[in-house]
């Protein structure tokens, strides 16, 4: 169902099936609401802290907003000026259009036009769907230009187990390493997590651990994907999964946010590449002219 409103997030697309309901929004093309396990925001609110956003054509941060690709140097706007970074790509605040929809799914699209700092045309498409298996998002990116383009994508859901404090949740992150960052939250190296406070390869309580880290060297499932889980003491939980197109997880416990949102949920962010990949080249995608990249992730309750 489409609901056209004057909300800051624009038109609201509601999808329902199998006792599950989600709300996708026009502005940013992201997820505003999904049951009780996503900590979203109200229709009359400006989206806080990138909640539910799609992060493209790069996730996380880009140092100085400056990078080199194809022999040319590019400069994008500094969307995190306090740290002199560009953050979370270029589509956070653009309008997406609905191109297909049924009761349980909606497909939205945005044409990323060539612009200063990112001079490549890319058509982005996301299909959001709900059903007995939970919520899923399938993303595609098509290079509609004549030369290769750099690309990365992430998603930014904040998840929780209703009625359970973050400190009491048991967290599992199937990753052997984490990124080390500087004062600007940019990677300066990596370290193994084994035998450290950041080792969540076996589920354990978060306690007072504060996280805003990128995790890599993933342990893959049989299908090549991976998943991060949060579990309450009573066994209820939420699983955020991603397919083989995603190589990194950013996990953020929300410390330092405004009081209404601080440590009320955990941002579990699948990413195709780590922060600053436009500069480092690590796991950076190159999409050739006419080619399409595809990746999927989702949320399941248990």
pLDDT digits (tens, 9 = 90+) for 127-172: 999 999 999 999 999 999 999 999 999 999 999 999 999 999 999 9
Q: What pLDDT is attached to residue 183?
A: 95
Q: Domains of the chain, with CATH numbers? A: 2-301 (2.70.98.10)
Q: What pLDDT is attached to residue 92?
A: 95
Cα 103 to the center of its chain, rounded Å: 24
CB contact set of 133 (below 8 Å; sequence gap of 6+): 18, 298, 300
Which residues does the chain have with pLDDT short of 50?
A: none
Q: What pLDDT is attached to residue 182?
A: 96
The model's pTM = 0.96
Q: What pLDDT is attached to residue 6?
A: 75
**Angle, CA 282 vertex, CA 279 and CA 288 arms, to 5°:** 85
Q: Are residues 90 and 77 in contact, defined by beta-carbon separation less than 8 angstroms?
A: no
Q: Are residues 141 and 56 in contact, defined by beta-carbon separation less than 8 angstroms?
A: yes
Dihedrals φ, ψ of 252, to 5°? -135, 120
Site of tokens 């990753």: 175
Peptide bond into 267 cis (omega under 30): no
Taking CB atoms within 8 Å and a gap of at least 24, the contacts of 292-295 are: 292/140, 292/141, 292/142, 292/143, 293/140, 293/141, 293/142, 293/151, 293/153, 293/245, 294/138, 294/139, 294/140, 294/245, 295/138, 295/139, 295/153, 295/242, 295/243, 295/245, 295/246
């Amino acid at each position: 169902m489409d609901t056209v409103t004057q909300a800051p997030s624009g038109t609201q697309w509601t999808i329902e099936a199998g006792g599950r309901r989600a709300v996708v929004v026009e502005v940013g093309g992201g997820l505003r609401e999904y049951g009780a396990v996503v900590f979203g925001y109200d229709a009359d609110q400006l989206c806080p802290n990138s909640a539910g956003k799609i992060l493209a054509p790069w996730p996380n941060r880009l140092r100085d907003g400056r990078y080199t690709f194809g022999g040319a140097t590019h400069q994008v706007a500094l969307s995190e000026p306090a740290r002199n970074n560009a953050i979370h790509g270029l589509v956070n605040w653009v309008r997406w259009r609905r191109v297909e929809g049924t009761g349980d799914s909606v497909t939205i699209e945005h044409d990323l036009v060539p612009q200063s700092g990112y001079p490549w045309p890319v058509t982005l498409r996301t299909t959001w769907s709900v059903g007995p298996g939970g919520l899923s998002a399938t993303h595609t990116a098509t290079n509609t230009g004549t030369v290769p383009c750099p690309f990365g994508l992430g998603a930014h859901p904040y998840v929780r187990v209703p009625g359970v404090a973050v400190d009491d949740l048991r967290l599992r992150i199937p990753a052997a390493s984490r990124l080390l960052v500087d004062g600007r939250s940019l990677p300066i190296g990596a370290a193994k997590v084994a035998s450290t406070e950041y080792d969540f390869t076996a589920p354990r309580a978060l306690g007072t651990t504060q996280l805003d880290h990128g995790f890599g060297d993933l342990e893959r499932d049989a299908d090549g994907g991976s998943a991060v889980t949060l579990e309450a003491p009573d066994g209820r939980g939420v699983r955020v999964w991603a397919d083989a197109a995603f190589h990194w997880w950013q996990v953020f416990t929300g410390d330092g946010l405004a009081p209404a949102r601080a440590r009320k949920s955990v941002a579990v962010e699948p990413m195709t590449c780590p922060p600053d990949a436009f500069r480092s080249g690590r796991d950076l995608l190159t999409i050739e002219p006419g080619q399409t990249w595809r990746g999927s992730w989702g949320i399941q309750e248990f």
